[in-house]
Structures are given as C-alpha cells and as structure tokens.
Structure 1
Amino acid sequence: MQFMEAFMSKIVLVGAGGVIFAQNFLKDILTDPELRTHEVTLMDIDAGRLANAVAVAGLIAAKLGIRFTPHATTDLREALNGANYVITIFRSGTIRHQELEYEIPMKYGVDQVVSDTLGPGGIFRGLRTLKDLFEVLEVMEQECPGAYLLNYVNPMSMNTIALSRRARTVRVAGLCHSVQHTSRQIAEWTGTPYEKLRFLAAGVNHMAFLLKLEADGQDLYPKLRACLDRPEIYKKEKVRFEILRHFGYFPTESSGHNSEYLPYFRKRQDLIDRFCRNDFPEVDENGIDWNSMSAGVSGASVQICRGLQIRNEKQIAGYLDGSREIDLASSVEYGVQIIAAIEKNRPLAANLNVMNRGLIATLPPECCVEVPCLVDGGGIVPGRIEDFPEQLAAIDRGMVGAQILGAQGALDGDRRAIFHAIAADPNTQSKLGLDEIRSMTDELFDALADVIDPRFSR
C-alpha cells in the first residue's frame, strides 16, 4: 500500500544574519516536533552573518539531539520560491542613517528618543525600510503568491499600511512583542501569576491600551493604579503611568517610545527633565546605559543600538567558540506560534497589526490597528473592538494621520505627502512652524537620498 507524503510547508527568515533575533524563531521551530520537519530557509545579504546563523542553528539542533539542515542563501528570489510563510526581521541602512534621523530633527528642536515608529525619524525610517520590503513583497507575488508575510520591521503601522495596499495575493500581518512584554510587566508589578492574567489590548501599534485587565475574575486596574504611588515602579515608567493617570488606561509600549508619540512630554526641557529622566541608570563597561531608551533619554536608541551590536557580536562569538550556552526556552514572539496554529489548526489568540477596515470604528478604515486576532487552520481572523474609549481613539488618531500619509508617500514617491506626514506628527507640531518643518524634511531627503526610493529626488 502506498501512502501520500505529508505536505510540508516552507518557512523563510529574511534577515537571518542578525542571528540573535533569528535564534528565537529557530528555537521555536526546532523545539516543535512537527514544525522542525518542515523546510526552513535562512536568507541574508551578508554571507558571513548568514554563515553564523547556520552555525547557531546547528548548535541548537545538536543541543536538542536532532538533525537539522536549513537551506541558506543570499539570493532573495531563491529563498522565497515556493514559500508559505516569510518572516522579515532585517535592518535597512546603518546606524549612521539612524543618527541622521535623530540629529537633523534635533537641530530644528524636535527631540526624539527611538524615532522608529513616528516623528521625522520614524517616517524616514519607513521610507528606507519600505524600499526593501517592497522588493520582498514583489518577489513573493512572483515566487510564492498567497503566502503569509509576517513582518517584524518598524515602523510597524506605516509598513503594514503600505504593504497591505500594494499586496495583490500576499497576506500581510505586522508582528510586535509590546503586548507580551507589557502584560508580563503588569503581572510582576501587581503580584499576579502570569498564567492567571486575562487582558484585552487594542489600539495602534506601540499605542495600544489594556482595555481589560483581570485575574481570577477581579479587575486588576486598582492594583496597577496603586503603582502611581510606588516610586520604584512609577519612576521606571513615568510617561506610561501619567497616561494612565490622565486617560484611564495603560499603553503597551515603553515610556521612551510613548513620550515621542504625544505632544505633552518633549515640547519643553522642564517636561523632559521631569518625565524622561533615567532614574535607574544601568551602565556597562562600554558606557552604554541600557535603561536610557525605556526611560525616554534624548537620542538613546542610537547608543542602545551600538551597544546591542557589541553585545550581539560577543554573544554569537560565545556560542560559536563554546564559551556560552544557548538557552532553549521558547520565546514570546508570535511568529512561529502563528505558523504552528495555522499548520496544526489549533486556535491561537494573538495581538497583530492589520488594516482597520471597521475593526475599531472610531479610527479611519485605511489605518493599521493592533487588535486581538484568532489564528487557526483558516488563517488570521482579526477581532472587532466594541466601545473603544473615545479619549484613546483621540490619542491614536493623532498617530494614524502621519502613518497613512507616510505610507501613501512611500507608495507614490511623493515628497509632498511625506512633508504632510511629518507636519501631522504630534511631537513635531508641538515644536515647529510649517516653514521649519519643510526645511527639516528637505534636509532629511537630501541626507538619506542613498537609502530611499530615487523617485524622491528633487
């Protein structure tokens, strides 16, 4: 009797040479007895980094006592041919480009922390990232139509809008770990076992809110509000707790990020000193303060990214020379969990970034929202949020205008739309007049011309 060979899906990691982030996905795949039998391809444009990723994958497999030989290639088309799931985890450009996205706005008085999601830096990061993501999408349409594109690359909302508008058959979803990390923080702060925590989170990426927060049928918000009076907690997340104090709900991304999405915290130096000072510095031997970005210190992400580069290279070297052990604990990332839910038809609830289209009725249908989704053998089914608090919708509407305009500008190669996107940014609005915004935008176009779509040239 002959049996048909079971269908095996193809999973592709684009940007696998980053190794550390890819390592989480490789662990999640290889610790799953079913998924590790599927075809896995690692792709990166840097052959040396790619070789390191393959070596680390071999170490994980050896530690698990299994055989695993991923396909590795620097050729995007080869990697994507016949793929079912594509996870994008690459970085576009260099730290120097990131510095320019901070330094030029700061010269005009626009103070940023991370500049990867909103603001002048976030919009231009979107332009240089989408230049590469559009290439991935186009090759997917040709080589694996109908596949899932699971994107981790920021700016999440702007990228998701642009990719979703351009996609013809490819199914696009944006993935972030803000909700997972924040829910774990809240469990710790309130003394709640994580497995007992029940929450409903929705809004816009990096500015979603915990709409419901419970354990054992009891509302946990009173315990969370009590943290306003606990300096050891409040001072670590001053901006987020001020948002809770004044708007009634807790957001799902760090204070450093949130401080640059709103007009309230970075418009004057006294406000920056009050709400964005790092009260718990953690400086390593290289002079990197690891708590500076989460606290909201100006330009901290550039320093943190340099530190991560140093730390990651040491970590990879340690894995390869045997001086460092690989931890096989599963990650909190949704990427492989989504693939497993679809392949095994086992329900998964995950907060994903998708086009709104009525999911939150008080936000524009053409924006990107982060909402709970049901994932199973039928695919990804986003959930509709009823009665989204109006004060939260007002905050998120302040973000989505810039994101929609930025995505439209990226799609059309339209400099004017990019100017409008930056002019719509709440932090920029709090600091500059229109002539200043135009001059700043033109200077950013000139400085970053080598890494954005040539259509933007004057």
Structure 2
Amino acid sequence: MIKRCKIVFIGAGSMSFGLSMLRHLFSTLELAGSTLTLVDHDAQSLARMAELAHVLNAASGSGFTIEHTTERRSALDGAGFVINAAAIDRLRLWKLDFEIPRKYGIRHTLGENGGPGGLFFTLRTLPLVFDIVRDMEERCPQALFIDFSNPENRIVLALGRYSRIRTIGLCHGLFMSRDDVARILDMPPAEVAVWGAGAQSFPVACSHPPAPYRRRSLSTSSERDMRYDPSFAPLTRRLFHAFGLWPTCSDEHLGELLAYRWEAGEKGYDFARDEMDREKLRSTIDAVLSGGEVPTEWRTASGERGAAVIAGAMRDERRVIESGIVYNQGAIPNLPDDAAAEAPVMIDPAGIHPVSLGPLPDAIAKLLLAQVNVQQLAVEAAVRASKEIALQALLIDPVVNSATAASNLLEELWEANRQYIRPCI
C-alpha cells in the first residue's frame, strides 16, 4: 500500500541546498505522490526554486504535488514532516562572526558551529527555530522536525529541552569523512561503511574494514600520506593518532571545537569561491528553466538523508541511517543526558530511535564534554536573550584566550545581531 504525506520545506529558496533536497526527495520511490510545500520569505528565490521543483518532478516521474508560499503558518497545516534549512542573512553575518573575533585576537577557523561565531549563530537562529516549532505545536504537533541548519547541535539541544516536537538533525559531514578514509585506504567510498558517534563535527567510528585492519592501515597510510600530501587533513590525522578514532568532517569544522583549532588554518570560509559556485549554479538552473536538458546527476539522489528518514517513518518497516543528531538521553552513556549527541538512528512509524554504540573512549568523551558545556550555556543565552550568559559561554569556550577580547567582541557582535536576539521561552 502506497502511503503519501505532506512535507513542508522551510528555507526552500536556497539554490544549493534546495536543489540537493529536491533531488533526494524526487528520487525516493517511497515518497512518490506526496505533497511538497516549499516555504521561504524571499518570494523571488522561492518562485525560482518552485519552478525548478516542477521541472525535476516531471523529469523524475515521481508525481509529487508541488506548492509554494511565503506564509509559513498556513503551510504547516496537515504536515507530517518539516524540513528546516532556514538561515538569517547568512553570509553577511557569518563574515562578521569570523572577522570581529579575529580583530580582537581570537584565532579560529570557520566561526560557524563553535567559538564566538557559533555563539552568535545560536543567538540569532534559535528565535526563528522556536517560531517554527511553536507554529508546529499548534498546526501539526505530530510532525517530525528535520533540521539541516547550523548550529545543529544547539538547535537539537534547545528543542530537546524546551519543545515537545520530535526532532532530528542531519549532517552530511559523516560522508565527507568516509571519503577521506576511503582515500587513505585506497578503497572505493562505497566499500567503507561509517557510523557517527559523538557530536556534530566530532568522531566517526568506521565499521568496515574490520577494526584491527582499519587501525593498522589508517595509521600506516596516514603517515605515508602525511609525507606526500601534508595539506590533507593534518589536524584530523593528528587527532586520529592521539585518540584512535577518525574525527569528522574536515579540519575546518573539527577545528571549530578546539583550543588549537587555528592550526587547521585561519582563512575562514571562502566567500569568494562560494559566490562563484552560486553564480555557476544559477546559470545552470536558468538554462534548465529555459527548456534546457536536466543534468544527469540532478535525476539521482544527492546523498542527503532527509528523504530516507521520511520514508522510514512512513513505512511499516525499520530503517537505520548512519548518524543523526538527537537529544542524548543515554544514546552515548558517558555524555550528559542533557546534550545533543550524534549516533546511528533507527526510524520507523513510531519515531526516531537512537542506536547506542556504547560509551565513547574516555579521552574522547572528556574532549567532547568541554563543548557540551559551551553548547548548554549558549542555548540558555539564546533562549533567554541574556548577554550575561552569553559572556559566560564565551569565557568557558576553549578558543577564547582573553576575557577582554570576549567582552569586546560580545558588545560588537551583539549590536550587529540585536534585531534577531529575543527570548524564546
């Protein structure tokens, strides 16, 4: 029996992620015939992606009913699943998140999921997320909230604490690590299975090849690669040799969580390259919307796991995905229950069920605990719109090496984000 559902995609005006999610939804046979409602505050970008959705839907033959609207609340009526990819003035504010701390001597990498940048992503994003889930509590209280927006750990933690809406965060970083491990082992990525365990942007446990072979092979191959390509994941490999598990998902993201993270590079996000890529994608979309041929890769799954989660929750069968970000509650026994954890998850019509891989190695758990504490304070600062708690979150963050710098950057970034910071509870 075919089951159909209503999927609401918030932030659908994003070209890159919007395309990625459309590809995955339309190539998932179990979802054929469902309703997809695209939502974005930018009417022009939304109309563009809705037009693309109609083209890809027709090309795939998946038979979706496509809707689009700027009215989020009405869109949520009857939804079974809500995908969130919304962000607030993302690139402009992200630049400030990186540049202002650097001006005060804070050495960091991306400034997105950790450090001062991660704090201000949290402060401005959580009010928007809570607006969405409060509407869900009224309009579709049984729906599953699937988050792709950063900072995912903090969003999942906040909703675990303060909302009854079922939530999972999904990040493709795990598969970036799979590709890195496959490169080192000189194996096809499809032959390397991975399971996430820890927190977003931290460790990965590889389940194939078998552990003894893996540890020996990764160690010798890693040393060989280090000599011939010192630019390839040097920080990640140092941590692998020190702690025994391969961290995810790149030196830049991994580096956001560590006091010595600047050793992974201090250039920040490549905004110029991002704009070039967006322009290229915009041109390709224009060509398709003008009647050009749909690129072959757009007719296949993109690798995101959102559609797999939805299909698993709809069908009367259990489906396991490699990792999801969930409210911990014992999934990782040696991290606090009141934390966001990354773990494999089983999905069925009854909900999301984390699969525990047991406790993390003690040293890794202790390394992660430093970030758990920062995330907990950052969430409290955001939901209460408290500058006092925000300062406390900065002062316990491993990357912040000066109380004076913390106070100065707090004042400047708070002012830049003032219009978005407000209490959530």
Give the Cα–Cα distance (whole angstroms) in 1 for the partners of residues 310 and 224 of structure 2: 42
Give the Cα–Cα distance (whole angstroms) in 1 for the partners of residues 184 and 170 of structure 2: 25
Q: Of the two structures, which has the highest relative contact order with CA contacts closer than 8 Å and spacing of 6 or more?
A: 2
Deviations 1:263-290 (A, max 9, x none): 1242xxxxx4xxx3xxxxxxxxxxxxxx
Alpha-carbon contact 1:402-1:424 (below 8 Å) kept? yes
Match of 2:314 among 343, 361, 376: 343
User: SS where residue 142 of structure 2 aligns?
Assistant: coil
Residue type of the alignment partner of 1:344: R
1:399 aligns to what? 371
Residue type of the alignment partner of 2:96: L
**1:297 to partner: Cα distance:** 4.0
Q: What CA RMSD, in Å, does the superposition of the two structures yield over aligned residues?
A: 2.2
| 1:357 has 2:353 as partner | no
**Percent identity among equivalent residues?**
27
Residue type of the alignment partner of 1:316: I
Structure 1 length normalisation: TM-score?
A: 0.86
Match of 2:49 among 44, 47, 53: 53
**1:260 to partner: Cα distance:** 2.8
Aligned ranges for residues 11-410 of structure 1 at < 5 Å? Answer: 11-65=7-61, 67-168=63-164, 170-210=165-205, 212-215=206-209, 219-225=213-219, 226-231=221-226, 232-266=228-262, 272=263, 276=264, 296-323=265-292, 325-326=294-295, 327=297, 328-350=299-321, 351-410=323-382
| 1:442 has 2:414 as partner | no
Structure 1 66/150 Cα, relative in aligned 2: closer, same or farther at 3 Å?
closer
Alpha-carbon contact 1:175-1:352 (below 8 Å) kept? yes
Structure 2 length normalisation: TM-score?
A: 0.92
Q: Which stretch of structure 1 is more off in the superposition, 304-313 or 403-412?
A: 304-313
**1:143 to partner: Cα distance:** 0.5
Residue type of the alignment partner of 1:106: R
Residue type of the alignment partner of 2:389: A
Give the Cα–Cα distance (whole angstroms) in 2 for the partners of residues 24 and 346 of structure 1: 26
Deviations 1:192-234 (A, max 9, x none): 3444334333001111332x44227863222222222214555
Q: Which stretch of structure 1 is more off in the superposition, 224-233 or 245-254?
A: 224-233
**1:308 to partner: Cα distance:** 4.1
Alpha-carbon contact 1:126-1:155 (below 8 Å) kept? yes
Give the Cα–Cα distance (whole angstroms) in 2 for the partners of residues 396 and 304 of structure 1: 31
Give the Cα–Cα distance (whole angstroms) in 2 for the partners of residues 102 and 454 of structure 1: 24
Structure 1 301/348 Cα, relative in aligned 2: closer, same or farther at 3 Å?
farther
Deviations 1:115-164 (A, max 9, x none): 11010011101111112111111111111012100000001111111122
Deviations 1:64-118 (A, max 9, x none): 2465440111100111111110000122124221121112101111123221101
1:283 aligns to what? none
Deviations 1:399-428 (A, max 9, x none): 111111111111122211111111121111
Residue type of the alignment partner of 1:395: L
Residue type of the alignment partner of 2:50: V
Gaps of 5+ in 1: 267-271, 277-295
Structure 1 140/304 Cα, relative in aligned 2: closer, same or farther at 3 Å?
farther
Give the Cα–Cα distance (whole angstroms) in 1 for the partners of residues 169 and 198 of structure 2: 14
Structure 1 136/304 Cα, relative in aligned 2: closer, same or farther at 3 Å?
farther
Deviations 1:3-40 (A, max 9, x none): xx976321111011113312222222222333121111
Give the Cα–Cα distance (whole angstroms) in 2 for the partners of residues 384 and 31 of structure 1: 30
Alpha-carbon contact 1:15-1:88 (below 8 Å) kept? yes
Alpha-carbon contact 1:113-1:301 (below 8 Å) kept? no
Deviations 1:338-367 (A, max 9, x none): 011111233322201011122222212211
Residue type of the alignment partner of 2:374: A
Alpha-carbon contact 2:33-2:62 (below 8 Å) kept? no
Match of 2:394 among 422, 435, 445: 422
Structure 1 441/206 Cα, relative in aligned 2: closer, same or farther at 3 Å?
same
